[in-house]
Amino acid sequence: MKKGTKDKNGMNFSVLNRSEIIDELKGQEFDLIVIGGGITGAGILLDAASRGLKTALIEKMDFASGTSSKSTKLIHGGLRYLKQMDFALVQEVGTERAIVHRLAPHLVLPEKMLLPLVENGSYGKLMTSIGLKVYDVLAKVKGDDRRKMLNRKEALALEPLLPKERLKGAGYYAEYRTDDARLTIELIKTSLKYEGMAINYMEAMDFIYDEGHISGIKARDISTGNSIEVKSKVVVSATGPWVDELREKNKSLEGKRLHLTKGVHLVVSHKKLPVKQSIYFDIPDGRMMFAIPRGKITYFGTTDTDYKDSKENVETNAIDVAYLIAAVNQMFPSIELKDDDIISSWAGLRPLIHQDGKSASELSRKDEIFISPTGLISIAGGKLTGYRKMSERIVDRVIKKVANDTKPKFLECTTDKISLCGNEFRDYEEVQKYIDDIFGKIKTHGLKYQNAWYLVTTYGKQTEIIMKQFHAFEHEDPEWRLLRAELHFCTEREMILTPMDFFIRRTGRLYFDIDSIRSYRSEVISEFFNLTNAAGAKMEQWTIELDNELDRHSNFESVEV
């Protein structure tokens, strides 16, 4: 595969090649089928494929359309887990941060976090100082990235919006941030270089059994309604919030179960909440939340409430909005945010493991593996940040099942050394130089530094392919030329099936630049229609669906309490 375009057989990862990919899926027996194309499934796919296991991943909607596009988008050690005394989890995810940054320094960016200490807050100065120190030691943080304790004046200099009267100082420490959906798609694209293949909009409907043991799956192509069967020695369910559904289908839903909690984030323009940097702060009910500036916007969250409704349609409601706005206004009193200021939002489900007597916020974030008597391996829980180690643990188990006399050995896990697609950088400094480079090339066309930053932190070195297209197009509006070039890239190389896949999960525009969708929605829909030779009614259908999505993410229903 060159620059993220083709798999090892030279096939494009594109809707235009979808039928060939499905034929290939039907025509062979795999070592492993992974059900679920979130971060966990994508991580397992890359780990298994790079160790020599012939592996296929199927996802029922778009890749990362479950929880893996709805997180806080931090690659973080999870300071709150220290409070829960979960040292092993802090150590694992804390150490993983630097590794994941190295694998994709353009996509997993260093982000300093400010933890304000306020009167009656949950962390005192001494506890914060010790806690952050332990955090650094567990995660082996080095040099300038080690935590600093700031006095009130220093904290206010970093963030003048903090509440002057109540502020006592702050902790200042290192984390990373990312785009969760892009991390997922780049993992999937990287696995195509090895023994991996993947398809979205393909739902696992049932299992095939051979003498009581799973030997494959029955799946349905959501885009055509056609059913297929795929054979495999092992099947892993990495279906996040849907794990128990598949366990039930396999008649193995016994013992521990999932406990779903909803987490909401709200988006306002950066001008409305002009925080200078990321902040992790106390809120009145004793929880903590994040406010994170990102280009034109600031997002904040999250909630953590028990959830029992439809998993397919998780929505932000007026109660979530009121809760989050009140929390922000309390920490940043000069801001006075109102409901009308919210321009976008997202709501996701944490697939946690139920523990009797524990509230949503108290439940452990550790992952759990279930192995059924029929051989189904299910994994749930865990963190975006810990996807690599979770995948390694799963693939170690798969290998034990697959290894036989003819294929006794598979490679060790090397995913800590496999750069993700788009990464041809030695370090983060090179990423920054490359952003400057790209800016140098686009500013003559009237484009801004922000455009260069966005391209590089979204696509890394694949920006070059997009720039080539940009130069090939002619139009007086450079923003549209760039967006059009991006659309071609994602259609030809990132398996988008609808304009929503493009606007929501490949580019994050629904969350980070919703106005650009409103400005260019007709152009994108009609270009995608032409590019994919879609059938007549599709244009209208996509327009309605996209309008619904815009509405769903920016208008909130009141609910009865």
Kindly tell me which of 59 and 527 has the beta carbon lying closer to ligand FAD. Answer: 59
Q: Residue 438 corresponds to which tokens in the numbers above?
A: 């790209």
Q: By CB under 6 A, is residue 302 in contact with ligand FAD?
A: yes
Least separation in angstroms between CB 193 and ligand FAD? 21
User: Between vectors from CA 234 to CA 231 and to CA 240, what angle results, nearest 5°?
Assistant: 105
* Among 303, 361, 368, residue whose Cα is nearest residue 72: 303
Q: By CB under 6 A, is residue 89 in contact with ligand FAD?
A: no
DSSP state at residue 375: -
Say if CB 500 and CB 485 are below 8 A apart.
no
Please give the Cα distance from 470 to 384 (Å, whole number).
33
22 forms beta bridges with none
Neighbours of 98 (CB within 10 A): 19
Chain residues 416-455 in contact with ligand FAD, contact rule CB under 6 A? none
Least separation in angstroms between CB 234 and ligand FAD? 16
Single residue of 4, 41, 169, 422 touching ligand FAD by CB under 6 A: 41
CA dihedral 500, 476, 463, 530 (to 10 degrees): 40
Kindly tell me which of 187 and 546 has the beta carbon lying closer to ligand FAD. Answer: 187
Q: Residue 345 corresponds to which tokens in the numbers above?
A: 């939002």
Q: By CB under 6 A, is residue 232 in contact with ligand FAD?
A: no
Q: By CB under 6 A, is residue 508 in contact with ligand FAD?
A: no
Chain residues 160-219 in contact with ligand FAD, contact rule CB under 6 A? 203-204
77 Cα distance to chain centroid: 16
Q: By CB under 6 A, is residue 376 in contact with ligand FAD?
A: no
Q: By CB under 6 A, is residue 384 in contact with ligand FAD?
A: yes
Size, binding site for ligand FAD by CB under 6 A = 37
Stretch that binds ligand FAD, among 12-20, 234-242, 335-343, 502-510 (CB under 6 A): 234-242
Cβ contacts of residue 370 below 8 Å, gap of 6+?
A: 243, 247, 252, 255, 256, 376, 377, 378, 379, 380
Kindly tell me which of 7 and 59 has the beta carbon lying closer to ligand FAD. Answer: 59
Stretch that binds ligand FAD, among 11-19, 65-73, 431-439, 548-556 (CB under 6 A): 65-73
Say if CB 1 and CB 517 are below 8 A apart.
no
Least separation in angstroms between CB 205 and ligand FAD? 7
* First-to-final CA distance of the chain: 53
Least separation in angstroms between CB 519 and ligand FAD? 29
Single residue of 91, 128, 232, 239 touching ligand FAD by CB under 6 A: 239
Q: By CB under 6 A, is residue 388 in contact with ligand FAD?
A: no
Q: By CB under 6 A, is residue 493 in contact with ligand FAD?
A: no
Kindly tell me which of 18 and 73 has the beta carbon lying closer to ligand FAD. Answer: 73
Kindly tell me which of 169 and 381 has the beta carbon lying closer to ligand FAD. Answer: 381
Kindly tell me which of 61 and 466 has the beta carbon lying closer to ligand FAD. Answer: 61
Least separation in angstroms between CB 441 and ligand FAD? 33
The per-residue b/e assignment along 23-54, b for 16 or more CB within 10 angstroms, e otherwise, is: ebbeeeebbbbbbbbbbbbbbbbbbbbbbbbb
Q: By CB under 6 A, is residue 65 in contact with ligand FAD?
A: yes
CA dihedral 95, 101, 107, 109 (to 10 degrees): 90
Least separation in angstroms between CB 434 and ligand FAD? 26
Kindly tell me which of 5 and 71 has the beta carbon lying closer to ligand FAD. Answer: 71
Please give the Cα distance from 240 to 39 (Å, whole number).
9
Say if CB 264 and CB 249 are below 8 A apart.
no
In this structure, is the dihedral angle defined by the CA atoms of residues 76, 80, 82 and 85, taken in order, positive or negative? negative
- Helix or strand (DSSP H, E) at 117: strand 109-118
Q: By CB under 6 A, is residue 66 in contact with ligand FAD?
A: yes
The per-residue b/e assignment along 232-258, b for 16 or more CB within 10 angstroms, e otherwise, is: bbbbbbbbbbbbbebbeebebbeeeeb
Kindly tell me which of 59 and 282 has the beta carbon lying closer to ligand FAD. Answer: 59
Q: By CB under 6 A, is residue 94 in contact with ligand FAD?
A: no
CA dihedral 214, 215, 218, 221 (to 10 degrees): 120
Stretch that binds ligand FAD, among 122-130, 236-244, 460-468, 507-515 (CB under 6 A): 236-244
Chain residues 240-279 in contact with ligand FAD, contact rule CB under 6 A? 240-242, 263
280 forms beta bridges with 290
Binding mask 342-361 toward ligand FAD (x if CB under 6 A, else -) reads ------xxx-----------
Kindly tell me which of 215 and 516 has the beta carbon lying closer to ligand FAD. Answer: 215
Single residue of 4, 38, 94, 216 touching ligand FAD by CB under 6 A: 38
Chain residues 7-36 in contact with ligand FAD, contact rule CB under 6 A? 35-36
Please give the Cα distance from 151 to 389 (Å, whole number).
37
Binding mask 317-336 toward ligand FAD (x if CB under 6 A, else -) reads --------------------
Single residue of 39, 79, 353, 418 touching ligand FAD by CB under 6 A: 39
Kindly tell me which of 81 and 454 has the beta carbon lying closer to ligand FAD. Answer: 81
Q: Residue 331 corresponds to which tokens in the numbers above?
A: 């920490």
Residues engaged in binding ligand FAD (CB under 6 A): 35-41, 58-61, 65-68, 70-74, 76, 203-204, 238-242, 263, 302, 348-350, 382-385
